[in-house]
Structure 1
């Protein structure tokens, strides 16, 4: 069975095996699809004349090859795979039912990754000036989740016909509504006919042809002249119109809508919306808040399969923990939906999901448990198979030497027994060597585990090869020449004032009496809810001279005279995307070349770097070879854009990195590599992040079980106990401290991330009435 779905610039080609047996009552929350193939190719390649589907697929990027997609009803899956492996493409194919075998009646709700170009995670618009009019946020969520506006349009159409004094108005409204519904059904049948091939495809195309005739008849009835309609037909269809109107009105009766609105309010509140922000126009929301609104819609819908692609992007820790609890609570419902989650946040995914769905090497594998357990199990399996293979290779070499000696002696002395013995051992060597355990982990038995295939040999013991690890390498900071603090804030109070005189009172200061010192090698974590002022504090740390439109009311901010500072903004990816739209031919290497050249020629902070130097910098952050030189920035994924922005910071060899939500858009492996690289880096790090696992590793120095004993991850400061300070940089103390920013105050958390997390847990319990 084959499917083709066109996008603006690419096409998804899907094919799979499908059972020939008809299932009367399928479980729409389950999927069991064999031989799944998914390829992404250009629209030109897919629609080119004279090209078959096979040739179009060969010219595209293969995502899956002969994979098995198996989802159990009500299970919660974390979809794991590296950036660019095709996770979003697979989710799109499921959501749009492009995969033959997914019944059209299956209800699929999906949250797709938001367009990053206008995303803003910190600030909800203060008013609706940028988009007055239109539905409010609450109305928009309820409407999209329930198709309320569509039902109201149908009710309006029938109501006008039924209440009209025109005798044929009700009949005409009924026929118009029927025809519109039939056209929607025709679209589904047409899609079904394109998805299927073989006997089932022939049957689907016959059904399509028959239904097209019915639609044509409906169109002619809609245009039928009044004088050709009999009185009996008129009376019958007027009654049908009245009955249909009553059914539709039941679906939008106030009590039902009130229940839905009440649930929508709870979800929106959990995701950070206040009562006032729920009443603002939906079109006034910034990108980050639109994503939260879309997430609320997905959670509110009644669905069989719920797909969430990076739902924690732009959520603060309060929203993340609320979402965890909400998704966990679905298990208690009568028919919990099957959940598929993609998230770079390890703690979120591990707490929500019971199973892993691993997309690797163009196939899908499954594991019951979380990611750390899977990684541990894979490591143990590799050790076991390695020992088994080494022992068997030794045994095999011994047997081969014995066989050689027996054959030589038998032929020399014409001893048939020796020759038969050698052949018997050779047969055993050929048939009985290989895996000594079956797929379930029990002892391998030839007559059971290869039943019906006794002539076959056992599979060779294959020790899994480690996938090429993601590595990130940070250059050592440049020399400061003389000691001193890198950044110092003393008693800083900062506020945003109205530009013009206004009767409204001035807002309270965003930061109040903030004191913070960053010394060489320090690890500083800043936690807080969205809107608490974290980004304002970061901007003051980075560039205290640029405070517009805010005012530094009092306090001092000083930098070390020779400090080179690297600042990763939470809007860095969006800024690169905007730049790429203006300059579509811009590549990572050409961007770095331009920036290093302008800095050197203008007497800036960097020396002129050669092309080889720049290639090396890009390779160290995961953009090697042609990815840096040939692929336009516009075609880089979100994770690759993060790497490019890091390269733009690192070529200057900064002594302090200020990172604001740097893990957004990165996959598990890259987040782990960046965590390890930052933990071992001798420079100072100021980190703002909602990823608890990442902050624990970078700031608190927590070392995971699989990292213990690895010199690459050892920074030598004894920070893994979560202590505040330890021996870090040469000749100094490395400070490790986590702060909470709330109400304009910067407060040190003695218990670090755990203390902040416990506070958010209490708020979530209160919010959910627990």
Structure 2
């Protein structure tokens, strides 16, 4: 079975195996797809390929090859894979039902990964949106999630016909509605015919042709003159229109709509919307808030499979924890009438994906499944490899020194230490001398050796039994011990900062306050300062974490630190020789804005050419390639691939390279983990934890903050000496502190990240209890 979808930029080609069982007994919340192949091609698919219904794999980038896609109903899957492995492509293929075997009636809701578009308004008061018109945020969310406007349009059309004075009005309204629905059905049949091949494809195409004739005939019926309409047909269709109108009106009855509105409000409140902000026009929302409204629409839909691609982008910790608990609550009290959806989540936040029951790992163009969380998977893989190495070493030793004969007439050849040489040597000697007895003896010993070596356990982990685990004829009784290669982890190397020459704080804020200009027509005295009396010192080696909800003033504080804005009150001093590296939360969008359009005569901008332009001769090409390679942009990725075609994670690495080439003493990072895969987040966490310079970090990622700022190791456990994961001498020279910004005031959290998380957990509990 093959399907494809075309865009202006790329085309997704999908094929898989399908059985009669998959078609005739669908479970709408489960998927069981064998032999799944997904390829992404650039540009349009060749006409010859379209005629065949497929394209050659070599014409594009292969994402999956002969993979198994198996989702259990009601399970929660964390989709894991490095940047560029095709996570978003696979999820999109599922959501758009490009994969043959997904029933057309399966309801799939998806939140696709987004950069948020415009600059977020998290620092601006929620009650001051941009001027706009249109439905409110609440109405917009309800309409998009329930197709309310489409339903009301159908009701209004039928109502005008049924209640009008024209005796043929109800019939005309009914026929118009039927024709619209037939057109939608025709689209589904056309898609079904394109997705199938073989006998089922032939049947699907026949059904499509038959239905096209039916639609054409009904189009003629719609143009039937009134004097040719039989009276019995008029009466029957008028009554049918009235019955259908009553049925549709039941779907918008006040009690049902009130329940939907109540659910929508609870979701929006959980995602950070105030009552006042729900009433503003949806078109006035900027990037981050628009993303939250899309998430609310996705969560409000009635669905069998729920797909969330980076849902925590632009959520603060309160929203992240609320979303965790909300998704978990869907499975808390399942009922036959409202079973929980099957959940697929992509997120770089390791603490967030702990809500998932299973891992779906995209690796080596296939799908690997694991029941448990990420930490357990990594531990089990490490333990499995150690076990296999130990087993193979023991059996290699046994094979080398096994006693294959005790007869004095045996053709043994002893080494200097008395140990017997390999069976292969005996076999070679027997063949050389044409000694059949020695050859038979060597083969017999080889058989005994095969029976005693190889895997000692079955694929299910039980003790190996030949008659159960190796049914049939095989050249060897047991599978060879194959040790998986050690995975090459992502490496992030931060260049050492340059020498300051003389000591002193890098940045010092004393009694700093900041207020945005008051809205036109209001009094300046009525404006609440965004920051109030902030005092903060950052010295070499310090680790400073800043936590707070959206709108608390974090971005304003960052802008003051990096000298993008000036304080309204107080003083800010900086070390005269300090070099500062600033990563903005909008760095990815800023890089994309630098790229010339695809149809521009200018040469495409690559990572290497951009860096060459930035450094202005301060570094040569070799140095630039070394820096880009240390951040995960090696070779042709840096020099040949245009920046506009880089993934989100690769753009983050490029943005880091643009600030690290100067070897700054202080890094100010604002939501740097957005767009990164979990392996790169882990590598960056480790690099920042031990770097010699100072780090100021704003992030909602608790796991990342605990490592980079508080110094916890990857396993987040304790060292053998009982320390908290940081070395004693490191603690002596580093200051590790976490602050909370609340109503413009900076407060030190003595309990660190955990204290702030506990506060948010209590607030989420109250929100859920109020539901």
Q: TM-score range by the shorter chain?
A: over 0.9
- Residues 23 and 631 (structure 1), Cα distance of their counterparts in 2 relative to 1, 3 Å cut: closer
Instruction: Measure the CA separation in 2 of the matches of 1:217 and 1:390.
Output: 76
State the match for 1:696 in structure 2: 706
Instruction: Measure the CA separation in 2 of the matches of 1:695 and 1:158.
Output: 58
2:579 to 536, 546, 564: 564
8 Å Cα contact 2:357-2:371 kept in structure 1: yes
Instruction: Measure the CA separation in 2 of the matches of 1:475 and 1:338.
Output: 44
Instruction: Measure the CA separation in 1 of the matches of 2:174 and 2:742.
Output: 58
Once the two structures are TM-superposed, the CA of residue 333 in structure 1 deviates from its matched residue by 2.8
8 Å Cα contact 2:547-2:700 kept in structure 1: yes
Moved more, 310-319 or 391-400: 391-400
8 Å Cα contact 1:490-1:516 kept in structure 2: yes
Q: Residues 57-136 of structure 1: matches in 2 within 5 Å? A: 57-120=57-120, 122-123=122-123, 126=126, 130=130, 132-136=132-136
> 2:315 aligns to what SS in structure 1?
coil
State the match for 2:356 in structure 1: 353
Instruction: Measure the CA separation in 2 of the matches of 1:504 and 1:248.
Output: 53
Instruction: Measure the CA separation in 2 of the matches of 1:413 and 1:301.
Output: 80
1:397 equivalent to 2:397? Answer: no
State the match for 1:603 in structure 2: none
Instruction: Measure the CA separation in 2 of the matches of 1:223 and 1:432.
Output: 83
State the match for 1:315 in structure 2: 315
- Residues 125 and 706 (structure 1), Cα distance of their counterparts in 2 relative to 1, 3 Å cut: closer
8 Å Cα contact 2:129-2:285 kept in structure 1: no
8 Å Cα contact 1:403-1:426 kept in structure 2: yes
8 Å Cα contact 1:124-1:285 kept in structure 2: no
Moved more, 328-337 or 233-242: 328-337
Instruction: Measure the CA separation in 2 of the matches of 1:536 and 1:506.
Output: 19
8 Å Cα contact 2:13-2:54 kept in structure 1: no
> 1:133 aligns to what SS in structure 2?
coil
1:640 equivalent to 2:657? Answer: no
8 Å Cα contact 2:95-2:110 kept in structure 1: yes
Once the two structures are TM-superposed, the CA of residue 291 in structure 1 deviates from its matched residue by 0.8
1:458 equivalent to 2:468? Answer: no
- Residues 484 and 505 (structure 1), Cα distance of their counterparts in 2 relative to 1, 3 Å cut: closer
8 Å Cα contact 1:488-1:517 kept in structure 2: yes
Q: Residues 449-598 of structure 1: matches in 2 within 5 Å? A: 449-454=469-474, 458-498=478-518, 500-503=520-523, 506-543=526-563, 546-547=565-566, 552-581=567-596, 585-597=604-616
8 Å Cα contact 1:703-1:720 kept in structure 2: no
- Residues 314 and 221 (structure 1), Cα distance of their counterparts in 2 relative to 1, 3 Å cut: same
8 Å Cα contact 2:16-2:99 kept in structure 1: yes
Instruction: Measure the CA separation in 2 of the matches of 1:129 and 1:121.
Output: 9
State the match for 2:390 in structure 1: 387
Once the two structures are TM-superposed, the CA of residue 54 in structure 1 deviates from its matched residue by 5.8
State the match for 1:269 in structure 2: 269
State the match for 2:410 in structure 1: none
Once the two structures are TM-superposed, the CA of residue 405 in structure 1 deviates from its matched residue by 6.3
State the match for 1:333 in structure 2: 334
8 Å Cα contact 2:702-2:753 kept in structure 1: yes
- Residues 168 and 185 (structure 1), Cα distance of their counterparts in 2 relative to 1, 3 Å cut: same
1:721 equivalent to 2:724? Answer: yes
Instruction: Measure the CA separation in 2 of the matches of 1:233 and 1:128.
Output: 58
8 Å Cα contact 2:3-2:54 kept in structure 1: no
8 Å Cα contact 2:579-2:663 kept in structure 1: yes
8 Å Cα contact 1:14-1:99 kept in structure 2: yes
8 Å Cα contact 1:726-1:734 kept in structure 2: no
State the match for 2:169 in structure 1: 169
8 Å Cα contact 1:179-1:218 kept in structure 2: yes
State the match for 2:368 in structure 1: 365
State the match for 1:666 in structure 2: 676
Moved more, 312-321 or 425-434: 425-434
> 2:351 aligns to what SS in structure 1?
helix
Once the two structures are TM-superposed, the CA of residue 45 in structure 1 deviates from its matched residue by 3.6
8 Å Cα contact 1:125-1:284 kept in structure 2: no
1:378 equivalent to 2:378? Answer: no
Instruction: Measure the CA separation in 1 of the matches of 2:680 and 2:718.
Output: 19
Deviations 1:403-425 (Å, cap 9, x if unpaired)?
A: 35655787899976554332212
Instruction: Measure the CA separation in 1 of the matches of 2:434 and 2:578.
Output: 87
> 1:307 aligns to what SS in structure 2?
strand
- Residues 700 and 343 (structure 1), Cα distance of their counterparts in 2 relative to 1, 3 Å cut: same
- Residues 538 and 673 (structure 1), Cα distance of their counterparts in 2 relative to 1, 3 Å cut: same
8 Å Cα contact 1:617-1:651 kept in structure 2: yes
- Residues 411 and 749 (structure 1), Cα distance of their counterparts in 2 relative to 1, 3 Å cut: closer
Moved more, 700-709 or 421-430: 700-709
State the match for 2:212 in structure 1: 212
- Residues 457 and 131 (structure 1), Cα distance of their counterparts in 2 relative to 1, 3 Å cut: farther
Deviations 1:388-440 (Å, cap 9, x if unpaired)?
A: 12222233334593535655787899976554332212234456643221111
Once the two structures are TM-superposed, the CA of residue 24 in structure 1 deviates from its matched residue by 4.7
1:282 equivalent to 2:282? Answer: yes
8 Å Cα contact 1:584-1:632 kept in structure 2: no
Residue ranges of structure 2 left out of the alignment (5+ in a row): 403-419
Moved more, 451-460 or 479-488: 451-460
Once the two structures are TM-superposed, the CA of residue 43 in structure 1 deviates from its matched residue by 3.5
8 Å Cα contact 1:679-1:699 kept in structure 2: yes
Once the two structures are TM-superposed, the CA of residue 590 in structure 1 deviates from its matched residue by 1.2
Moved more, 616-625 or 353-362: 616-625
1:250 equivalent to 2:250? Answer: yes
Once the two structures are TM-superposed, the CA of residue 117 in structure 1 deviates from its matched residue by 3.8
State the match for 1:145 in structure 2: 145
Once the two structures are TM-superposed, the CA of residue 232 in structure 1 deviates from its matched residue by 0.5
Instruction: Measure the CA separation in 2 of the matches of 1:49 and 1:374.
Output: 41
> 1:705 aligns to what SS in structure 2?
coil
State the match for 1:34 in structure 2: 34
Aligned length: 745
Deviations 1:142-188 (Å, cap 9, x if unpaired)?
A: 01111100000100111111112111111011001001001101111
Once the two structures are TM-superposed, the CA of residue 361 in structure 1 deviates from its matched residue by 0.3
Deviations 1:222-254 (Å, cap 9, x if unpaired)?
A: 111111110000000000000000000100111
State the match for 2:415 in structure 1: none
Instruction: Measure the CA separation in 1 of the matches of 2:622 and 2:475.
Output: 57
Instruction: Measure the CA separation in 1 of the matches of 2:367 and 2:705.
Output: 31
- Residues 83 and 415 (structure 1), Cα distance of their counterparts in 2 relative to 1, 3 Å cut: closer
> 1:520 aligns to what SS in structure 2?
coil
Deviations 1:629-684 (Å, cap 9, x if unpaired)?
A: 11111111111111011000000100000000000000000000000000111000
8 Å Cα contact 2:127-2:276 kept in structure 1: no
8 Å Cα contact 2:548-2:554 kept in structure 1: yes
Deviations 1:247-303 (Å, cap 9, x if unpaired)?
A: 001001111111100000000000000001100111111111111101111111111
Q: Residues 11-30 of structure 1: matches in 2 within 5 Å? A: 11-21=11-21, 24-30=24-30
Instruction: Measure the CA separation in 2 of the matches of 1:12 and 1:374.
Output: 30
State the match for 2:348 in structure 1: 344
